[in-house]
Structure 1
Amino acid sequence: MNKNKNKKIFFGKVLSIKNKKTIIVLVKILKKHYLYKKFFFKKKKILVHDEYEIAKLNNIVSFISCKPISKKKFWILKDIINNDTKSN
């Protein structure tokens, strides 16, 4: 039986890589207002566990839910979608 069957996959942009084995990811969720039926974005910062520290700043990553790793970390890095790093 597939253990990842009921787990939700999210996508977001890496905001910070300052912590060891932890990245901060910004996730935008499209929602619809219940009364006015207007669409809007909700933003949330999520702490994601990055075991091998492969994510870089401004990368687009996907991550999946897991059992709690610490007080605020419930997510683990799945893979890097887009390397959006630009050199100046």
Structure 2
Amino acid sequence: MGEQKRKENAKGDFIFGKKNYKWLFIGLAFIAVGFILMSGGGSDDPNVFNEGIFHWRRIRLAPTLVLIGFGIEVYAILLNPNKK
């Protein structure tokens, strides 16, 4: 009888809690914004060089946001949802 209760309890439990998913989505948003900020800067004419690819937003800000997002993802995975 005890084994059946454990199986029933184990079926309804999720690995992550609500808190973990909240942090996972926050980290995902940081990563998405970082990649969006990295995009662009191309030129329609291959003979014309566009200096926009060296803008501080693409070189400094966007990779920093992506790394912060990955850090938040690691935190969200390691976070204990049962601890208050």
Q: Which structure has the larger Rg over C-alpha atoms?
A: 2
For normalisation by structure 1, the TM-score amounts to 0.20
- Which structure features the higher share of helix residues? 2
- Normalized per residue, the structure richer in strand is 1
Q: Normalized against structure 2, the TM-score is what?
A: 0.21
State the structure with bigger RCO (CA 8 A, min sep 6), 1 or 2: 2
